[in-house]
A and B are shown apart, each in its own frame.
Chain A
Amino acid sequence: AQKVTQAQTEISVVEKEDVTLDCVYETRDTTYYLFWYKQPPSGELVFLIRRNSFDEQNEISGRYSWNFQKSTSSFNFTITASQVVDSAVYFCARIISSGSARQLTFGSGTQLTVLP
């Protein structure tokens, strides 16, 4: 199976620090989609971003930014000036589709704790 690896199991930072969450994926496909989801302590899964494999533009949304590099198969997520409300588990995921079939793989998640 082609994996999605989030090597950082837990990260702890102090409020206002910047933090980067790493995501590395394996794929033999040229077309795929990458995602980041946030799971706060309340348990729901919140969609953050989608990136297509043919679009390597980095993206910034407020304090969040994403760095997609096909050459290293990485899709890293940076939170600038972290806040306590950013404390959550963050999941990276990849979807490959072939016709109507879909192969979805999630990373094991990174628990981010932002201390006041």
Chain B
Amino acid sequence: NAGVTQTPKFRVLKTGQSMTLLCAQDMNHEYMYWYRQDPGMGLRLIHYSVGEGTTAKGEVPDGYNVSRLKKQNFLLGLESAAPSQTSVYFCASSALAGPSSYEQYFGPGTRLTVT
């Protein structure tokens, strides 16, 4: 039981390049989330998904796209990276219902630098 995993752990991009971050969870959770963490700003929600084939915008969705083709995976895409997207990205998942349905389980994070 690996919980929530993220690939890659580190990445350096040049401005304008594209990339996809992969999040996988093995807890059969319906909800999955992508956050970014910047110094002094806590975590801000980018997009989230309620289930396979669904996505919804969070607080800071611009410049990102997401897809949830399989229940266990949630992809975050940057089509044209900008230096402002330099950040640490966290994926999380949570159950749809039940006593712990709002508790999020986080991945280890991906440190992205855009030069």
Contacts and interface: CB of A to CB of B under 8 A. Distances in A.
A102 interface: yes
Contact of B58 (A33, A35, A44, A104): A104
Interface string B37-58: 0001111110010100000101
Main secondary structure of the interface of A (DSSP, over half): strand
A97 B95 CA distance: 13
The contact size tier of chain A is 20 to 34
A95 interface: yes
A101 interface: yes
Using C-beta atoms within 8 Å of the partner chain, give the interface range for chain B: 20 to 34
A47 B109 contact: no
Contact of A91 (B31, B43, B50, B100): B43
Contacts of A9: 40
Given A45-B90, A47-B104, A47-B105, A104 B42 contact: no
A60 B50 CA distance: 32
A1 B40 CA distance: 18
Contacts of B44: 106
A33 B45 CA distance: 16
B75 to A, nearest CB: 19
A35 B102 CA distance: 9
B106 A44 contact: yes
Contact of A102 (B31, B41, B100): B31
A43 B43 contact: no
Given A43-B88, A106-B35, A107-B42, 4 more contacts: A9-B40, A50-B102, A91-B43, A108-B42
Interface of B: 31, 33, 35, 40-45, 48, 50, 56, 58-59, 88, 90, 92, 100, 102-106, 108-109
